[in-house]
Structure 1
Amino acid sequence: MNYETSVVADRSADLDGEDGGRVATGRRRRNWIIFALIALALAIAAWFLFLRGGEPAPAADPDAQLPLVTVVAPGRTTIEGTISATGTIAARREIPVGVVGEGGRVVSVAADQGSWVRQGQVLVTVDRSVQTQQASGAQAQIGVARADANLAQANLDRALKLVARGFVSKADVDRLTATRDAAVARVRVAEAGLRELQARNARLNIYAPVSGLILTRNVEPGATIGAGSQPVFTMAQGGEMELLARLGEEDLAQITTGTSVTVTPVGLDRSYTGQVWQVEPTIDPQTRQGTARVALAYAPGLRPGGFASAVINSGTVVAPLLPESAVQSDAKGNYVYIVGSDNKVARRDVTTGIVTERGIAITGGLTGQERVVLRAGGFLNPGDKVRPRAGTTER
C-alpha cells in the first residue's frame, strides 16, 4: 500500500509541473497582446494629434446652442419709388372727320391710314356737276336782277328831270324810286344765293380740320356719302398719343400732373418716356380704380388700342431700405426685430414708405444704424438671445 501511494504521488507532481508551465506561458502571451493593443491605441492618438497640429480639442462654447440669425445695419439710401400699372394706348385728341355738306358721290380720296395731313388739306373730293350748274344759274339770275335795277334807275333819273317842268308828279317819282330800290334788293338776293351755292359746293369736299395723323379710313372712291353718316376718317391731332393707365385708389393718390412715366408696349423691347398730364377725378365704383392719362409723343411703336405696361415714378425719399422678409406686421402695425449689444432681440415699431424692387423704405422708427434681423423674425420673440451674423440687403 505504501509503495503504490508513493508512485501515485510522484506522478501527480509531475503532471502539476507541466500544467503550471503552460498556464504561465498563456498569461505572458495575453499580457503581450494587451500591451500591443495599448501601444497601438497610443500611436493612433498620437497620429491624430499630429494631424491636428498638436492642439488640444477646444472647450465647448456655451453660446453654440443659440439660434444663428442674419443681421444688417441698413444705413440710409436715396430711394426712388415706382408704381407699376397697365393700360391702353389711345390718341390724346382723337378727331372724327365726317361729312359737313350734303354729300354725294366720292370722286377721289387723297389720304390713307398712317398718312400725315395738314390743316385744310382736301381729303375727299365729291362730285359737284349738278351743283356747278346750279351756281351758273344763280350767276345768270344776278345778271337779270342787275339789268332790272339799271332800268329802274334810268327811269327814276328821267322822272327827276321832268319833275321841275311839271310833267311828272311827285307820286310818280316815289313809285319809280320804290321800283329802283326793289330791283337793287333783288340783285343783292341773287348775289347772296350765289354765295350760298358756292359755300355749299365748297363744303362738298372733306377737309382736314387739324394737322395730324390719319388713324382710320372708312371711305372709298365711288361711295355715296351724306350728312349724318359715320365719320370717314379719324385723326390723332398732332400725332400725339397717350396711355390710359389704370391704378388703384392708393396708387392714384401718389401721382400728380407732370410725373415721369416709362411706357413699354406689349411685343416691343423698347420703352417710351412720357408725363402724366391728367389724373381723372372719378373712380370706377365696380373696380375701385381710376385712370392716369400719360402724354406720349408720336412714335411708330405706339399704336392706338394696343396694351402697354407703365412704371410711374412716385417720389424720392432718403431712408433705410430693408427687404420684405425683415418687416413683420401684426394688429399693432409694422415692426422689425433688432439685436442689441447684449445680443438680445427687441421689437421696434416702424413706418413703411415707398415699395421698390429692392425692398421697402422705412420712413419712421429706424436711424439705419441698428442691427436689424433680416430673416426668421417670425420665429423670434422679444428678449431672445441669438448669435448675430452680418449680412447684406442686396438680393
Structure 2
Amino acid sequence: MNYETQLLGDSAMVMGEDDTRRSRKRLMIGGGIAIALVAVAAWISMRGAEPAAAPPPAAQVPVVTVTSPGQSTVARTVSATGSLAARVDMPVGVAGEGGMVTRVLVQPGDWVRAGQVLATVERSVQTEQVRSLAAQVEVARADAKLAQAQLDRAKALVGRGFISAADIDQRTATRDQAEARVRVAAAQLAEQRARTGRLDIRAPAAGLVLTRTVEPGQIVQAGSGVLFRMAKDGEMEMQAQVAEADLATLRPGNGATVTPIGSQARFAGRVWQVSPVVDPQARLGIARIAVPYNPAIRPGGFASATITSGSGSAPLLPESAVQSDAKGSYVYIVNGKGQVERRDVTVGQVSDAGVAVTSGITGTEKIVTSAGAFLAPGQKVKPEPLKAG
C-alpha cells in the first residue's frame, strides 16, 4: 500500500510540474503576442502621422512648336537639265575651189574678228591668172584710147567734107566696143581676184574658235566639210530640256541660273527662245538659255538650270514641318481642342527660305514645325509659338 501511495504521490508531483511549465509557456506566448500587437499599433499610428502619398502622375502632354506663316511672295521656278552649246554655232569650211593648205593661223580658244584669215591655201596658179587678166585689161584700155582718138580726128574733118557722117558713126561704134572690152576685161580680173581671195579661209564673223580639223599640207576642197567651228561673239547657251507642263509657263526673258556639272560656279542667264514643239516620245521641249562667255561654259558639256517662271503668294514653311508618306506630303495642324490633325498639302518650290505650299493650307492654321514624325492624329498637344529668328 505504501508503495502505491508513494507512486501516486510522485505522479501528482510530475503532473504539477507539467502544468507549471504549460502555464509559463502560455504566458510567454501571450506576452509575445501582446508585444507584437503593441508594435503593430505603434507602426500604424506612425504611418497615420505621415502625409498621404501623391497619386500617380497623369500622362505628360507633349509641347510642340507651331507657326502660322501666312502668305509670302514666292518665285515660281522650273528645274531642268540639258547640254551647253554655242548660241550661234558657225561651221567654217572651204568657200573657194580649194587646194593645199599652206598655213593655219589660229588655235581653238582664240578670239578672232570678222574676216580674219584662219588658214591659207596655195595660190601660185591663181596669181599668174590674175597677172594675165590684168595685162588684158591694159590692152583693152589701149584699144579704147586709140578708138577715142580716131573718133576725135574724124569729127574735126567732118566739117570740111573729108569724112562722111557714116564714118563718124562707124568710128563711134568702134570706140564704144573698145570701152566695153575694157569693162569686160576689168570684170574678169575682179572675178579672178575674188576667186583667189576665197582661197583664204576666213572667219565669217567675230567670235571664239571652238575646234580646228585642218593642218598644213592637207588638200581641201568645197566638199571637205567643216575645218573650224566658231561661237559667234563668244555667246553660249544651255539647251534645257523642260517637261511639257512646265514649258507652257516659260517665256523669252525669264531669268535663269545655270550650273555646269562638275563646277560649283553659277551663271546668270536668260531664256531667249522657247521651243514651239515638244518631243512626242519624251514629252520634253527645249528652252534655250543665253549665258555670257566663261571658260567654265564648255560647249558639249552638261548643266542644270533653275528658271524663274514668275511669282505668286503661298505659305512658306520650314522643311521640318512637311512630312511625307505613301499617300503624299502632309503637315500636322493643332485644332481648337489642342489636338493634332493631319492635313494633306501640295509642295511647290523648295528654296533656302523654306518650302512653298501651293494647296492644302491657307497659312492661318497653327502648323507643327517639328517632331511631326512622333505625333499621331488626334493626339493632345500643348502648342508653343515659334520664336522669330
Could you tell me which residue of structure 2 aligns to residue 11 of structure 1? 14
Q: Residues of 2 paired with 1:33 and 1:178: CA distance?
A: 165
Q: How does 1:154-303 map to 2 (within 5 A)?
A: 154-303=149-298
| Deviation readout 1:199-251 (Å, 9 max, x if unpaired) | 11122112222111110111111112212321211111111111112222233
Cα distance, 1:160–1:276 mapped onto 2, change above 3 Å? closer
Q: Check conservation: 1:339, 1:372, Cα contact below 8 A.
A: yes
Could you tell me which residue of structure 2 aligns to residue 387 of structure 1? 381
State the shift of 1:378 in Å.
9.6
Q: CA RMSD in A?
A: 4.0
Q: Check conservation: 1:324, 1:359, Cα contact below 8 A.
A: no
Q: How does 1:8-87 map to 2 (within 5 A)?
A: 8-22=11-25, 24-25=27-28, 56-58=53-55, 60-61=57-58, 64=59, 70=64, 72-76=66-70, 77-87=72-82
| Deviation readout 1:49-85 (Å, 9 max, x if unpaired) | 9xxxx89424543xx388x584622323454444432
Q: Is 1:132 the counterpart of 2:127 in the alignment?
A: yes
State the shift of 1:154 in Å.
3.5
- Residue 121 of structure 1, aligned match among 116, 119, 126: 116
Q: Residues of 1 paired with 2:291 and 2:258: CA distance?
A: 9
| Deviation readout 1:116-150 (Å, 9 max, x if unpaired) | 11112111122221111101111111122223223
Give the secondary structure class of the aligned counterpart of 1:112: coil
Q: Could you tell which deviates more after superposition, 291-300 or 11-20?
A: 11-20
Cα distance, 1:282–1:362 mapped onto 2, change above 3 Å? same
Q: Check conservation: 1:213, 1:235, Cα contact below 8 A.
A: yes
Q: Residues of 2 paired with 1:90 and 1:41: CA distance?
A: 96
Q: Which runs of 5+ in 1 are unaligned?
A: none
Q: Could you tell which deviates more after superposition, 166-175 or 125-134?
A: 166-175
Cα distance, 1:155–1:80 mapped onto 2, change above 3 Å? closer
Q: Check conservation: 2:89, 2:230, Cα contact below 8 A.
A: yes
The letter of the residue matching 1:9 is A
Q: Check conservation: 1:326, 1:372, Cα contact below 8 A.
A: no
State the shift of 1:354 in Å.
3.6
The count of aligned residue pairs is 381
Normalising by structure 2, what TM-score?
0.81
Q: Check conservation: 1:69, 1:386, Cα contact below 8 A.
A: no
- Residue 100 of structure 1, aligned match among 95, 98, 110: 95
Give the secondary structure class of the aligned counterpart of 2:198: helix
Q: Is 1:368 the counterpart of 2:371 in the alignment?
A: no
Q: How does 1:308-347 map to 2 (within 5 A)?
A: 308-322=303-317, 323=319, 326=322, 338-344=333-339
Cα distance, 1:129–1:28 mapped onto 2, change above 3 Å? farther
The letter of the residue matching 1:12 is M
Cα distance, 1:9–1:127 mapped onto 2, change above 3 Å? same
Cα distance, 1:267–1:210 mapped onto 2, change above 3 Å? same
Cα distance, 1:110–1:326 mapped onto 2, change above 3 Å? closer
Q: Check conservation: 1:69, 1:376, Cα contact below 8 A.
A: no
The letter of the residue matching 1:122 is V
